[in-house]
Structure 1
Amino acid sequence: MSAEKPHPTIGLTTVSRTVASLAVGMVHTLERAVVGEARVRTARGNAWEAVCADRARADQRAELDRLVAELAVAHAHAAARDRQRVG
């Protein structure tokens, strides 16, 4: 029986994690160089963009609801006018 521990080997997952980490670092550095420090996307920036997009969608839904309500009122007035003409 041997008291020696097996030598740790570098597995495929270790290599792929290392390559992925290096790639992310390179892309991040490249992004900073190309777009500039002030324009680098951050979690805070992404969250703010999501908030703005949600607000814009809510505004669009509200506008659509207002238009549908106006159409419903106009339709009701037209139907009432038609009933008065016939009746």
Structure 2
Amino acid sequence: MERVSCDRYPCHYPGQDCTFCFCPFYPCGDGRTGGGLADGEWSCGDCHLLHDPEVAAMVMKGLIRGEALEDIWRDLEKRL
């Protein structure tokens, strides 16, 4: 769901899914996401993974089922 009323919009790109404004996997430390170190801190600036509607739905379903973040992340890694 795109939230154009957010004062941080557009944080990545138009049409992004904003279910997760803040990533539950931060800092994932996985450069395959497009993220990387910037000034010694993990930056998600080029990561679109969690803003993909299919991925956001998959993560939300896992959280609702009570799955551990580590298990959900392992499923996400298959998409990288």
- Quick one: higher RCO (CA 8 Å, sep 6+), 1 or 2? 2
Q: TM-score, normalised by structure 1?
A: 0.25
- The structure carrying a bigger strand percent of its residues is 2
Q: Which has the higher helix share?
A: 1
TM-score, L = length of structure 2: 0.26
Say which one has the larger Rg. 1
